[in-house]
Amino acid sequence: MVDAQPRCHGCGAPVGEQHDRVCDVARCRATGLQWDSCDHTSIAPVPHEPDVWTGRWPGEDDCERLGWFARLEPGQGWVPCDPDAPGAQPDINRLYAEAEWDPITGHWTPKVQTR
């Protein structure tokens, strides 16, 4: 488990305050994408603005909630594992691949399977 950081290491925002607009940790509230990577033109139910520093890396709390963890296995790269396995890290890549951003709640939720 990673300890909460009192200030963003990108822009120095304290917990609960918005990142500045050049912070590379900031995510766009409307899309969940990295602030720099969003073109801020899509129609969303919330404005495109930087999110708030929570004390955690963006997405980590959602990985914990979903139980999505991975660890680095020699020769195999990142492999899904249990949250309490040695070396387990929140599986942010899986979040981007298998979840979608909910701008209303500000959380990632698993994509609805359409099959």
Distance CA 84, CA 36 (A): 33
Q: Tell me phi and psi for residue 75, to 5 degrees.
A: 80, -10
* Using rule CB under 5 A, residue 63 touches Zn ion: no
25 lies in the binding site for Zn ion (CB under 5 A)? yes
H-only helix segments in the chain = 60-66, 92-98
Residue 49 or 78: the one with the smaller Cβ distance to Zn ion is 49
In a 13 Å sphere around the CA of 33, the CA atoms on its Cβ side amount to: 12
38 contacts Zn ion (rule: CB under 5 A): yes
Mapping DSSP to helix (H, G, I), strand (E, B) and coil, where does residue 88 land?
Answer: coil
Given candidates 5, 10, 96, 106, which one binds Zn ion under the rule CB under 5 A? 10
Q: Does 95 bind Zn ion (CB under 5 A)?
A: no
Q: Is 52 in the site for Zn ion (CB under 5 A)?
A: no
Task: Select from 46-54, 78-86, 92-100, 104-112 the region that touches Zn ion (CB under 5 A).
Answer: 46-54
- Cα separation, 25 vs 19, whole angstroms: 8
Residue 56 is a binding residue for Zn ion (CB under 5 A): no
Tokens of 93: 């890549």
Q: Interface with Zn ion includes 28 (CB under 5 A)? A: yes
Closer by beta carbon to Zn ion, 55 or else 83: 55
Distance of alpha carbon 70 from alpha carbon 89, whole angstroms = 6
Q: Where does this chain bind Zn ion (CB under 5 A)?
A: 8, 10-11, 13, 19, 23, 25, 28, 30-31, 38, 40, 48
